[in-house]
Amino acid sequence: MSLRDQVDRAVDGLQTAAQYLAASNAPLHTYGARPVPSLLSQSLTDIRNVVDHGPAFSLSDLPAYIDAAANLGGTIDDRKLLLEKLLTLMAKLSGESPEFSLKLQQYVIGILYKDLPHPPSGYLALPAPNQQAPVDGSRPVSVNTSRDPTDAYRTKPVNYAYRPADGSDYNPLIPSMGKAGSPYARSVPSLRCLPPASLPSADLVFDKLLKRDEFKEHPGGISSLFFAFAEIIIHNIFNTDFSVKGWTRNNASSYLDLSPLYGNSQEEVNKVRRRDGTGRLWDDVFSDGRLIYMPPAVCALLVLLSRNHNYVAEKILCINERGTFKDIRVCDPATLADQDEEIFQRARLVNTGYFMQIILRDYVGSILGLVRDGSSWRLDPLMSTRDIDHEVSPRGEGNVVSIEFNLLYRWHAAISEPDEEWTEKLFAESMKGVDMKTVSVKDFTANARRAMNPGPDVKKWTFGGLKRSANGRFADADLARILQNATAAPAHAFGARGTPEVLRVIELLGIEQGRAWGACTLNEFRKFMGLNPYKSFLEWNPNESIAAAAEALYHDIDNLELYVGMQAEETKEPMPGAGLCPGYTTSRAILADAVALTRGDRFLTVDFTPFNLTTWGYDDCQADTADGSYGGMLSKLLFRHLPDYYPAGSAYAHFPMLVPERMKEFAKDLPDDVGRKYEWDRPRLPVGPTVIVKPYSEVQSLLAQPATYTSSARQRLEILTGGVHLGFESVGHVLTDEQQLKNAAQALSSLTDALIKKKQLQGVGAHTRYIDIVRDVINLIPVHWLSDDIIGLPLKVEGNPRGTYREQDLYGWFANIGNYVYRNTDPSNDWALREQSQEATREIIRYLKGHLVKLTRGLVNVEGITDSVLHWVSGKNDHSERFLSVLVKATGSQSSDSELDGLANSLLASVVPTAALFSQIIAHVVNFYLDEDKVAQREQIVRLVERDANAEVIPYVFEALRLDPPLSSLLLTAKSAASVAGTAVAKGQHILVDITGATHDPSTFESPKEPNYGRQPRKVADVLGLDRRGLLSRDLFDRVVPRILGQIFKLKNLRRQPTQSGQLTRFTEKVHNVPEQSYCDMNGRLTPFPGSLIVQFDE
């Protein structure tokens, strides 16, 4: 065992003990407060962070901090890497000293935001306040800015914020700031603007300083897909109007509004929208035709964002958070128009939220090397802060992009070899007879305007040789192939002599634009950004050949043009805080611009709220730092929209902007041997399309052959339990022993009664009682029973205030495990669910095995003594010894570690994953019989339970489950070739069983939509897709469920709370054209399990 492993093991042990002590000593009631780690626990976490990631500060950092202190208010030496060291410091302190890291981050963001003036201090031309961006490159259209053009599609005022199509009204005081059709800003007025005759020819500059001599792979492992996404950002904010003299007008807005997808004018937006009341776009469309002539990965990414808009719009309509949306089939035209506009605008806010998150988390995360270094920390320029004088720091004030940053974002040197070949082919086909090695800028722009015209109908646009299907969509396989090719292709390194010759004319255009704009020199820009100006060409680029060529062209370092100077400057090496590795000036300026673009956009800051995006939408576009992508967000889109081609755990999905082979090397230096958890090879193609099975007979047949058509449950259980042999039958025999069944029925009945009495609330001066019957009773029943009587977990309750686990926390563990094992159909959630479930499993097994050791080995060992002490301190609720003793005896388990591991894992795998499903089933049944027309049935159930006629209650239970099944569908995999529902199925092919369809099959159930309490319950049970073990084992289920229902339904005048809280918060959508039911929790997060249902009853 290495020294590091020994330290890790020691720290882990100490952390476990510290967390146990803190939890045991925590107060019984938190009154809504969030738990704070103890000083000891936090200190051990700090030690672990240092072991894993190194110290936050070292002596080698001193020169950079000294230089910054000595030059306050002046310029600094960026070769001392102050910015990189500050970013590394903040990232590492985010775990050790989060408050200090936050304060430091606020200070850095303030500096970066103030790098650029807000509003701009100058423009290339006078802004025209009453202009709208032209649709086709013609003259701008005059508009009345007092009324937003989108108002034409609304019949009444709205109370939600939305993005105007042309980027106007982002600043209420300066409505035209940054709108499409405005002139570029100038950040740095130049005092060294040389006459044209004194400047070298652009051709000569390209040949001597920019032309690629050989391919040099990017040193930081950046993939071609990174630059494909960069193209979307660049085209989002830059669209120079070449019909205007001097190229002064920008036909794009200056905001990250995802205009390449939506457009820069109302006319362009109208082309991509359906306007059918659903707020959706046409399938796989986008607005900016320029991107068709970029490498195909650019458009493939844009199509994902197009699909994501429709996904979000459908969810917003299905969830219908405020209950205002109507069925589009019965809407009048005015209502339909208003509804479509609201859903579209809210979905656009959510989708641009995704765009922003991908920029900050994947794109900037790769720029700073955070993904490569396994850090989930990110710079957050959107946060609300106050300055030291308590003045609110500015946010959402607007933005105007400048010519300096237009010149900065031309990263042609980074183009990959496959993209270089693709570009050569594009120009050869679209510009026949044009020699790209000699063509002039004037001739090229004229030819490009003629040849590169995709046509007016966006629904017919194609790219990369793809074809649309009859429904207008591109094939998932084609999109995945393009994106995975881009991920696998290394980008070229930044720096001098890196641009392919095929892009010569594009570089000439950049040089000529900088001169036409009178752009500042490189040194002027560096001084503006607070960096030391260069004193010589050799300081600018230590490569003597490059420096000598630049000197021959420009003579004086102060004459070096901004564009050329940034392109051919010395580049950074990969290091903490540096992943993109461009030139030093570019590296510093990128962050300032990223902060300005995001912090200046009111729809990403002050108006980025759950009210405007909906609660679900706001939550959906938040990053999950525990999803295996180290804070990335693009993986969520890949998993969501191409699930068959990006399986869970694929490095191609988790790290799409890094070449997988290089990231695999980087992962070797990350803690916990995390690299073994990823699949590094390119994903295999799916065997075939998912086969949908709906008829009852077919569903019953498939579910009756678990060895031939398998779910993922068994495999996931083995992952959780470490692959030990699971003895389900042995545990099942003990759980369903007659005496155990009697004990369980009595215990669960008493638990239900006790929880109702404990959790109910009484209105002031009223005889009505209120209770959240799902959250505080139904979901907690298996938690208490398994903790107290089966496993022996120390619950923190009134009878055991020194317990370790709170009820809702433990339910969260059980729900995560149940979700991971039985539900878990979204690969974007798989990593987090697996990690959380494994952590919960390890903790439960630790307690359970301690109990088993004491029962088999007695007290003459460390584990037995420890278990006795823990029971004495915190286990007053624990009565599990009776059941565990019977289990040990019945299974004949001895005291060896392997046998006890097997027994502990078998028990956990049998009961814990079924707990949340068990609660969901009870919730569905209770919800079904809460309807006002079911009072007679409720009363009948109570009478039957009082007569101990449990068997007669079961038909009522399964009829409710038939009409409202807990699982809407179940995904199976064929273990061998077969024929399913008349369709040939290959080995490994997926089959989606439509459980709702089977339970409503009229050929099996007469009048399937009507309740009939005389149906055979087993006929229903056969197609519910439930794993009949643990709490769902037939004997146990049939014995205890009637007793639980009897306790609930006997409440006097039981009824729903007469508000939305009296209904289950759920919605139904179509997945593979199969209805799928989901729940929303109070934060808008989707969950497979119900979380709340408030009822009331009388004393």
> What pLDDT, on the 0 to 100 scale, is given for residue 872?
56
Q: What is the pLDDT of residue 506?
A: 96
Residue reference for tokens 């979000």: 312
Task: Report the pLDDT value the prediction gives residue 9, as an integer from 0 to 100.
Answer: 57
Q: What is the mean pLDDT of the chain?
A: 90
Quote the pLDDT of residue 816. Answer: 97
* C-beta separation of 64 from 88 below 8 A: no
Buried b (16+ CB within 10 A) or exposed e, 783-813: bbbbbbbbbbbbbbbeebebbbbbbeebbbb
Phi, psi of 432 (to 5 degrees): -60, 135
Taking 70 as the pLDDT cut, the residues of the chain under it are 1-25, 31-73, 96, 128-155, 859-877
Q: What is the per-residue pLDDT for 140?
A: 41
| Chain centre to alpha carbon of residue 108 | 26
Asked if residue 119 has a cis previous peptide bond (ω within 30° of 0), the answer is yes
CA 122, CA 462: separation in Å to the nearest integer? Answer: 40
Position 137 scores a pLDDT of 41
Global confidence as pTM: 0.91
**pLDDT for the residue 20:** 58
Closest CA to 1057 of 663, 771, 787: 771
Strands (E), 365-463: none
H helix intervals, 372-416: 403-408
Query: Can you tell me the distance from the alpha carbon of 554 to that of 408, in angstroms, rounded to the nearest whole number?
Result: 20
The SS3 of residue 258 is coil
At 875 the pLDDT is: 56
* Cα(481)–Cα(487) distance, integer angstroms: 10
Q: At what angle do helices 713-720 and 827-857 cross, to 10 degrees?
A: 60
Angle between helices 827-857 and 634-641 (to 10 degrees): 100
CB count in 10 Å sphere of residue 898: 10
3-state secondary structure of 703: helix
Q: What's the alpha-carbon Rg for the chain, to the nearest Å?
A: 32
Q: Give tens-digit pLDDT for 41-91.
A: 454 455 555 545 555 556 566 566 566 555 666 788 999 888 888 888 888
Backbone region of residue 297 per phi and psi (left: phi > 0; alpha: psi in -120 to 50; beta: other values): alpha
pLDDT at position 672: 86
Query: Rounded to a whole number, what is the largest CA-CA distance in the chain?
Result: 105
Q: Is 412 annotated as a binding residue?
A: yes
For residues 676 and 651, give the distance between their C-alpha atoms in angstroms, rounded to a whole number: 11
1074's tokens: 């199969």
